[in-house]
Structure 1
Amino acid sequence: MARGFASTGDLAEKTVSFTEIGPGIYGFTAEGDPNTAVVVGDDSCLVMDAQATPAMARQVIARVAEVTDKPIKYVVLSHYHAVRVLGASAFAGASVVASAETYRLIAERGKEDWDSEYGRFPRLFRDASSIPGLTWPSLAFAGSLSLYLGRREVTLMSLGAGHTSGDIVAWVPDAEIMLTGDLVEYHSACYCGDAKLRQWPSTLNRILDFDPKAIVPGRGDALVGKGQVSEAVAMTRDFVSTLYGTAELAVARGRSLKDTFAACRETMDPKFSSFAIYEHCQPFNVSRAYDEASGIDDPIIWTAERDREMWAKLQD
């Protein structure tokens, strides 16, 4: 019997945690749902990733208000996916900051991604009618950019592609803490449908070069201690490398997409099937890995129609 499409049947609400992982640095996490990170400075705050709707973003704003009365000056987008960016309008008066590549991707495929993600996982779009439209960065940069919250510096950097071609991280040098977005996950499947899989492990190496004392990953618990950070990076590397390596071998052997999907499940299920959103992600992940191994460098745009056609094709 075919599984229900993506996560349309996932209706269980998650418990939110708001955890301080360093002085004035917090992770807003929800048992495998998308995370948001918060940095409190001398005179203002920065939020990284805005949640999927303004209604959901207001949960973050309420948590910030519990620890400080300083205004939220910046909303940083780690990448372009709808579940990360469409809540930005709730942060009135804040500047929205992203990489120039993320800005390009919003223009190229932002509407299609919104329709696609909402169709896959409607629970993550609570009060979807509150979304006024696409989120457009008011400031886009290439390379790196330092933002200041009074005397506290937060450095935004493009360390390389991975989860998307526009990923950035935020580094808080005075605390030696990094906000990684979906470049790093913890006990959660990596969503790879728009990934640059061959480049992702090298980007993880660049994260480790900073030797962070703590991180807020894209999904999963906020992590304190270099041991937990190393574990999360290793877990992410293993997931991405196993996916791409299995797909690459299948393509080299002339296997079909469906046969490649079966090979990836055989290899990956024993290690990763307990991870959050694994069943949701795997068809999209294998499709992208198959494409990249076949020489399609730029991820094909997912639409609501393409999603369901692919899903039906890969079910038993």
Structure 2
Amino acid sequence: MPKPFASSADTSPKSETLEVLADGVYALTSEGDPNVGAVEGEDFLVCFDARATPASARDWLDALREHTDKPVKYLVLSHYHAVRALGASAFGASEVVMHVDTLGLVRERGEQDWASEFARMPRLFKEPESIPGLTWPTLCFDGTMSISLGGDRGDLVLGHAGRGHTRGDAYLWLPDRKILFAGDLIESEAALYTGDAYHREWLGTLENLELLEAEVLVGGRGAVVHGREGVTAAITQTRGFLLGLTGAVASVHEAGGDIRAAFDAAHRELEPTYGKWPIFEHCLPFDVQRFWDELDGVEHPTIWTPERDREVWALLQDRG
């Protein structure tokens, strides 16, 4: 029987957990759905990622309001994917912040990504009619950007450690507390989506993030990780997925095989370790297609559309 397309059959609600990581630092996780977070300044909030719709974002804000009533001054978007960005209007933020390369991606492929992700993951799009349109920044940065939190709260640093999950991934770093919000550059017991990735550069980006020596990690999906050993394990897990994927696909490509053989090789390599983790079967066809394209010399990811999604899925995941 053919596998249901992407996450279209995933209709079960997930249990959400709001965790206080330190005084005024919060993360909301939900069993492998995209994570979000917030940091209190003296009289304002910095929120990290926005969820897929304003209605879904309001659920997160309602939980956050049980801890703080400070207004959202900055909404930071880790990257352009619809499930991270389209809920932005719910925050009423004074500034919507993203890396300059993410702005370019919104311009180039924001509309197509919206349609693609809605078809792939419909459960995440609560009340999709509440989305007013694409999310545009009011403030972009290149390199790093510091925000003074006021009082004795220190600074918050936004950074770009290199190309990886996309070409514009931003992270949020609290150096005084050693807390890192990494977006989808690092996952904790969740499979990687690499359909818009720069696979080999991602490995170097992970090395740059390791240099921060974080002691608490909020990855893009999965539970919050505590302790240096746990953070190292999450980075190792992410690196292991990338190495397993690229090694399996490259071996077939170099031998003159086809992409269907490459998918089978990658599945055999990765499934024993990662197969039971969230969105593994959903991600793998798109991951394999993107790295195959890289091996064919396609530097920048080809834009995903609902039509292309279905073609790749039918070729790789719907066979037999």
Short-chain TM bin: over 0.9
Return the offset for 1:23.
2.5
Distance in 1 (CA, whole Å) between partners of 2:24 and 2:228 is 19
Kindly provide the amino acid, as one letter, of the partner of residue 11 in structure 1. T
Distance in 2 (CA, whole Å) between partners of 1:77 and 1:69 is 21
Number of the residue aligned with 2:80: 80
Return the offset for 1:76.
0.2
Number of the residue aligned with 2:71: 71
Number of the residue aligned with 2:173: 171
Task: Summarize deviations over 1:47-97 as a string: whole Å, max 9, x none.
Answer: 110000000100121122111121111100000000000000001143100
Return the offset for 1:292.
1.2
- Indicate the percent of aligned positions where both proteins have the same amino acid: 44
Number of the residue aligned with 1:291: 293
Distance in 2 (CA, whole Å) between partners of 1:90 and 1:105 is 22
Return the offset for 1:146.
0.8
Distance in 1 (CA, whole Å) between partners of 2:21 and 2:251 is 40
Alignment of 1:1-316 (within 5 A): 1-151=1-151, 152-314=154-316, 315-316=318-319
| Equivalent residues of 1:26, 1:38 under 8 A apart | yes
Return the offset for 1:230.
0.8
Kindly provide the amino acid, as one letter, of the partner of residue 201 in structure 1. L
Distance in 1 (CA, whole Å) between partners of 2:64 and 2:71 is 9
Return the offset for 1:226.
0.9
| Equivalent residues of 1:44, 1:150 under 8 A apart | no
Say which SS state the counterpart of residue 189 (structure 1) adopts. coil
Distance in 2 (CA, whole Å) between partners of 1:3 and 1:215 is 33
Q: Runs of at least 4 residues of structure 1 off by over 3 A? A: none
Gaps of 5+ in 1: none
Task: Summarize deviations over 1:82-128 as a string: whole Å, max 9, x none.
Answer: 00000000011431000000000000000000000001110011100
Gaps of 5+ in 2: none
Say which SS state the counterpart of residue 140 (structure 1) adopts. strand
| Equivalent residues of 2:290, 2:301 under 8 A apart | yes
Kindly provide the amino acid, as one letter, of the partner of residue 193 in structure 2. Y
Q: How many residue pairs are counted as aligned between the two chains? A: 316
Task: Summarize deviations over 1:174-205 as a string: whole Å, max 9, x none.
Answer: 21111100000011001000001001111111
Say which SS state the counterpart of residue 104 (structure 2) adopts. helix
| Equivalent residues of 2:186, 2:220 under 8 A apart | yes
TM-score (norm 1): 0.98
Return the offset for 1:19.
0.5
RMSD across aligned C-alpha pairs, in angstroms? 1.0
TM-score (norm 2): 0.97
Task: Summarize deviations over 1:211-267 as a string: whole Å, max 9, x none.
Answer: 011011100011111111111111011011111111111111111111111111111
| Equivalent residues of 2:75, 2:93 under 8 A apart | no
Distance in 1 (CA, whole Å) between partners of 2:294 and 2:141 is 27
| Equivalent residues of 2:58, 2:90 under 8 A apart | yes
Kindly provide the amino acid, as one letter, of the partner of residue 238 in structure 2. T
Distance in 2 (CA, whole Å) between partners of 1:60 and 1:137 is 21
Distance in 1 (CA, whole Å) between partners of 2:80 and 2:93 is 20
Distance in 2 (CA, whole Å) between partners of 1:198 and 1:135 is 29
